[in-house]
Amino acid sequence: MAEPAYSQGIARGADEPRGRNSPLDIEGVSLRYPTGTLALDSVSFQARPGELTVILGQNGSGKSTLVRCIVRLLRPTTGAIRVAGDDLVPLSGRRLRTARQQIAVIFQDASLVPRRTALANVAVGCLGRQRQPWTWIGGLPADERRGAFQQLERVGMSPLWEQRSDTLSGGQAQRVAIARALHQAPAVLLADEPVASLDPDATHEVMSLLQRLAREEGIVVVCVLHQLEVAREFADHLVGLRGGKVVIDQPAFQVTTEDLSSLYRAGA
C-alpha cells in the first residue's frame, strides 16, 4: 500500500460524511467547571483514521470531560476541536447540531431500549432523519430496515437481529450500541469506557470490533479506558491524561510500562 489510510488526499465517496479520513484535531482544550475544578488543562492531540486511539488515565483525570467536550455537550473554556478542519467550539444552534452528527458516542451502558429487537434499536439511530416516533419501527420502510440490518452485519450481530435487546449478553448489547452509532455514519466514534462492565471475553469482542472499525473503515475511533492491559493489547495510539494534562501522546508500541505506571502513581 503506497500511503497509510490517514494520509491527506484520499478520495471520498459522494455519500460519505465530510469528515471521513480526516483526523480529529484537539488543540489547547481547557475546561473549568463552575465549581472551579480545572478538569482539562490545555489538552492537545490528534486522533487519526486507521488507528485506534486510546485515552488512558485514572479516575478523575478528565477522560469523560474530554469526551463531553468533543461531542460538545460541554463547551471548552478555551481551545479548538476540529473535525475535517472545522472547529466545533464556536458553533451553536443549528450549525452545532449539524456538526455534531459527525460524532457518535457510546458509553459503558449500551442503553438499548428494552423489549425491542436489536434491529429496532439500531433503526432508532435513523429516526432523527425519519421524524417519526420510534414506536413506528414495525412500519419502517424496507430500505430503512435494510440499512439498520447492514449496520448489524458490520458488527457481526445480524444473526440476532430479531432478538430482544434485554436478552442479549453485555458484549452483544454493546455491539448493537456500536451498530446504532455507526448508523449515524459518523466520522468520529467516541467510546467512554465501553468495556468497563464486561467480562474478559466480551471485552475482547468489543475492543476487537473497535480496532477493526478504526483500522479498516476510515473512522476515527477514540476509546477511553482505565484498564492498562486492555489499552496495551488494543491501542495503536495512546494518550495518557493525568490531572487534566496530556502526559503521554505516542504510538502505543513506543510507550513503556514505566510511562504507563506513572499515570497511576500517587502524588507527582
**Helices H, strands E: what count in the chain?**
9, 10
Q: Which is nearer to ligand ADP, 74 or 91 (CB)?
A: 74
User: Residue 189 in contact with residue 222, Cβ under 8 Å?
Assistant: yes
DSSP 3-state assignment of 13?
coil
User: Residue 155 in contact with residue 209, Cβ under 8 Å?
Assistant: yes
- Cβ-count burial 75-101 (b if 16+ within 10 Å, e if not): ebeebbbbbbebebbebeeeeeeebbe
User: Residue 239 in contact with residue 53, Cβ under 8 Å?
Assistant: yes
Q: How far is the CB of 245 from ligand ADP (least distance, A)?
A: 12
Does residue 203 interact with ligand ADP by CB under 6 A? Answer: no
Of these partners, ligand ADP, Mg ion, none, which one is at the site of residue 39 (CB under 5 to 8 Å by kind)? Answer: ligand ADP
Contact positions vs Mg ion (CB under 5 A): 63-64
Q: How far is the CB of 208 from ligand ADP (least distance, A)?
A: 24
User: In the stretch 50-89, what mask flags binding to ligand ADP with x, by CB under 6 A?
Assistant: -------x-xxxxxxx------------------------
Q: How far is the CB of 96 from ligand ADP (least distance, A)?
A: 20
Of these partners, ligand ADP, Mg ion, none, which one is at the site of residue 125 (CB under 5 to 8 Å by kind)? Answer: none
Q: How far is the CB of 67 from ligand ADP (least distance, A)?
A: 8
User: In the stretch 7-46, what mask flags binding to ligand ADP with x, by CB under 6 A?
Assistant: --------------------------x-x-x-x-------
Does residue 170 interact with ligand ADP by CB under 6 A? Answer: no
Q: Which is nearer to ligand ADP, 63 or 180 (CB)?
A: 63
Q: Which is nearer to ligand ADP, 39 or 119 (CB)?
A: 39
Q: Which is nearer to ligand ADP, 35 or 257 (CB)?
A: 35
User: Residue 134 in contact with residue 127, Cβ under 8 Å?
Assistant: yes
CA distance 156 to 212: 12
- DSSP character for 124? G
**Nearest in space to 171 (alpha carbons), one of 124, 234, 108, 227:** 108
Does residue 243 interact with ligand ADP by CB under 6 A? Answer: no
User: Cα angle at 165 between 162 and 171, to 5 degrees?
Assistant: 110
Query: C-alpha grid cell for residue 195?
Result: 468495556
Which residues of this protein are in contact with ligand ADP, per CB under 6 A?
33, 35, 37, 39, 57, 59-65
